[in-house]
Amino acid sequence: MDEEVALADTTSDIRPVPEQPSSRIDPSVPHPARRYDYWLGGKDNFAADRRSGDAVAAAYPAIRTTVIENRRFMHRATRYLAETAGVRQFLDIGTGIPTSPNMHEIAQGVTSESRVVYVDNDPIVLAHARALLISAPEGATAYVDADLRDPERILAHSDVRATIDFDRPVGLMLVAILHFLTDADDPYGITRRLIEALPSNSYVVISHATTDLVPRNIAATAAPVTTTSMIDMAFRSRDQFAGFFDGLEFVEPGISPVTEWRPDDPPEQRRPAAQASMYAAVARKP
């Protein structure tokens, strides 16, 4: 189970949150962040998100286990970067709706001076952004309303530049987000541009949906169901996943099922890879 991370009751370093764009919220159209919230048992979702989530669950019943295990991977990877790699700055793109403990709570629970920028394009996430901005006074958090498909806007954003020093190592978190980019979106080009902006000794954390790890009958239905779920997803193979890390040095154990990346649980207590069918890896920029 995920551990709770306690932070001291301190004054927050909070940057202004843009006006909440309620006019952008269309409850008739599902969104990945709200669907993810539904699978995690949250309440910040609409009927369209639940219908989309149920369509995926009908083809892949273990989807709720998958999102839980993916979140546990994010916690472990964040702890690794903060504790072992000495990273003090994090750029988390595809943040999702706040779910405690959030990433900055993990990082600042290890080192209070950690600085975190969250990025997402869902107005519901923006509406909850205050929960992501409660920081230990030694560190800082910021939230940027932006889309992964526009890396230049993210990198140039004033709140990103005010929070992160790109002359010092950064942890780039792309957790369960790249599979929402189709080949037409140029996911490898986008990832490469973000990595180019990082200094040496930065780290890249990625998890990604795949059909490699599930039985063939499930794999045969998992990809087509995205049409009925109303949210496009690109399931990528191990080799395709590896392509996101070109030029980087993998941290042991390299590419692995999301449940097997430096797990906290003993082997007999871990979920089978087929119940959390995602690849995960962490790599360092030389």
pLDDT tens track, the chain, 286 positions:
443 333 223 333 434 444 444 556 888 889 888 999 999 999 889 999 999 999 999 888 889 999 999 999 999 999 999 999 999 999 999 999 888 899 999 999 999 999 999 999 988 888 887 777 888 889 999 999 999 999 999 999 999 999 999 999 999 999 999 999 999 999 999 999 999 999 999 999 999 999 999 888 877 777 677 666 778 889 999 999 999 999 999 999 999 999 999 999 888 888 888 889 999 999 999 9
Structure tokens at 92: 């988390």
Residue 283 φ then ψ, to 5°: -140, 155
Q: Where do we find the tokens 């649980």?
A: 265
Domain extent for 192 = 73-215+231-284
What pLDDT does residue 22 have? 53
What pLDDT does residue 237 have? 96
CB 236 within 8 A of CB 179: yes
CB 249 within 8 A of CB 286: yes
Alpha helices in 200-244 (DSSP H): 216-222, 225-229, 238-242
What pLDDT does residue 225 have? 73
CA atoms in the 13 A half-sphere facing the CB of 83: 9
Whole-model pTM over 0.85: yes
| 266 residue type, one letter | P
User: Which residues face 120 on adjacent strands?
Assistant: 145
> 267 in a domain, yes or no?
yes
Query: For residues 142 and 125, what is the distance between their CA atoms, to the nearest angstrom?
Result: 13
What pLDDT does residue 215 have? 82
User: Which residues face 143 on adjacent strands?
Assistant: 118
> 55 in a domain, yes or no?
no
Contacts of 269 (CB under 8 A, 6+ apart): none
Using only the alpha carbons of the chain, give its radius of gyration.
18
Query: For residues 281 and 203, what is the distance between their CA atoms, to the nearest angstrom?
Result: 10
> 262 in a domain, yes or no?
yes
What's the number of domains the chain is made of? 1
> 195 in a domain, yes or no?
yes
Could you tell me the CATH number of the domain that includes residue 168?
3.40.50.150
> 192 in a domain, yes or no?
yes
Query: For residues 264 and 208, what is the distance between their CA atoms, to the nearest angstrom?
Result: 20
What pLDDT does residue 134 have? 84
> 49 in a domain, yes or no?
no
Give the pairing of strands 89-93 and 256-257.
Answer: unpaired
Looking at the chain, how many residues does it have? 286
In Å, the largest CA–CA distance within the chain is 53
Structure tokens at 119: 């990025």
> 12 in a domain, yes or no?
no
